[in-house]
Structure 1
Amino acid sequence: MTVYDYDRRRTGVLLVDPLNDFLADEGKLWPRIAEVAREVDLRAHLPELVSTAREVDVPVFYVPHHRWTPGLYDSFSHPNPSQRSVDKHQLFAQDAFGGDWYPPLRPEPSDTVVVQHWAQSGFANTDLEMRLRQRGVDHVIVIGLLANTCIETTAKYAMELGFHVSLVTDATAAFSRELMRAAHELNGPTYAHVITDTKSVVAALTT
């Protein structure tokens, strides 16, 4: 895997959708990602990366999905397929277990929680870009869920805005191995500056 020499003063970790419905055993979507997540040891790697970033004063930005409430999408002219699924299954429900933070990944006071995103980009209709610019961050390490949707879209958007982008292949998951391959082997090389793994990122941030 690629080893990159990160300038910690200019680097931020984007932690996308670390919510119970994705990551907890009782989460509604955990059964769909569990096989891939276990293969890459996702639930160990995400806390490792976040704790390492905090230890070396690299800011962590929480990039959460919009929490579901009844009627949330009723006024939408063009809800996308993912939004229709969220509505049908009441995923990431506000003030409920599924929409709460996965306990090992709860934000700490030093972290930044950005405005909730509506679809698949953590930048569209949120304050993420402004928060990054205000911290002097122009290198982003994008981790979380899902590899082929919110991770890919957020990372592509970051690249379009001029950020240096790192993908971490074992700090994300998808509903199938095929979708993981598409995200990292087919699509990732067209926009990401670095495609790496947790071990390499931790080593780069701590040396």
Structure 2
Amino acid sequence: MSSTTYAADRTALLIVDPYNDFMSEGGKLYNAIKETADASGLYDNLRKIIPTVRAAGIQVVIVPHHRSHQHGDDYAGWRHVNMFQARNAPLKAFEAGTWGGEFNPEFGPQPGDIVAKEHWAQNGFANTDLDMQLKQRGIQKIIMVGLIANSCIEATARYGMELGYHVTLVPDATAAFSPAGMEAAAQNAPMFAHAIVSTAELLAQLPPAKTAAVF
């Protein structure tokens, strides 16, 4: 267990890709992550982490994937479409204007949250305003939760470390497309994370809930 503490004014919780297609039953990718989500306790742990973070006054940031579009090919004219993009293009996950492309009402943004610009592939910092949004608020530590453990979580966390952020991973608040994906994420994590904690360990290190001022 890390002894790290998370000051409310210098910490942000990054919730990656909380779309209905991932996190709501009936979503296009809900069943694809169900095995690992059930095994990790993803949903129950997010239900503990997110309200506690908000109560403590820690900034919540939504880090969304690019929404696909109904008409045309999102990758038309691209010289280098990777294998994962090509395989998943026909699925049109997170399609703009559809229920699946909307944020899950429980895990998505609330008033006061930041919604970063959409990332095209895996890294939430690449070609988005995420770094600026964090730096403008004096954020030094980022806590990563959401999807997918060995792609968007890992890619964003890796680059966050390179940018100078203190990176915390919470493996039981993530999921992947397979147990092998979760294992790959676990094997790689010590290369870039500053802290790897369980939900229970994280909650024990968060500041207490802010109390409302009495006049």
TM-score category (smaller protein): over 0.9
Q: 1:67 — aligned with what?
A: 67
Per-residue deviation, residues 169-195 of structure 1 (Å, max 9, x unmatched): 1010011222111102x1001110000
Q: 1:139 — aligned with what?
A: 141
Contact 2:20–2:104 (CA under 8 A) maintained in structure 1: yes
Q: 1:10 — aligned with what?
A: 10
Shift of 1:130: 0.2
Shift of 1:24: 1.1
Contact 1:3–1:201 (CA under 8 A) maintained in structure 2: no
RMSD value, Cα: 1.2
Secondary structure, aligned partner of 1:103: coil
Q: 2:194 — aligned with what?
A: 193
Higher helix content, 1 or 2: 1
Q: Which residue identity does 1:125 align to in structure 2?
A: N
Secondary structure, aligned partner of 2:14: strand
Contact 1:3–1:200 (CA under 8 A) maintained in structure 2: no
Q: 2:85 — aligned with what?
A: 83
Q: Which 4+ stretches in 1 moved above 4 angstroms?
A: none
Q: 1:56 — aligned with what?
A: 56
Q: Which has the larger radius of gyration?
A: 2
Q: Which sits farther off after the overlay, 1-10 or 139-148?
A: 1-10
Contact 2:2–2:196 (CA under 8 A) maintained in structure 1: yes
| TM-score normalised per structure 2 | 0.92
Mapped pair 1:35 → 2:35:
yes
Contact 1:13–1:58 (CA under 8 A) maintained in structure 2: yes
| TM-score normalised per structure 1 | 0.95
Secondary structure, aligned partner of 1:109: coil
Shift of 1:3: 4.5
Secondary structure, aligned partner of 2:21: helix
Aligned residues: 206
Unaligned runs of 5+ in 2: 209-215
Q: 1:178 — aligned with what?
A: 180
- Within 1, Cα distance between the matches of 2:104 and 2:12? 20
Q: Which residue identity does 1:192 align to in structure 2?
A: A
Q: 2:118 — aligned with what?
A: 116
Q: Which residue identity does 2:38 align to in structure 1?
A: R
Secondary structure, aligned partner of 1:143: strand
Mapped pair 1:158 → 2:164:
no
Secondary structure, aligned partner of 2:143: strand
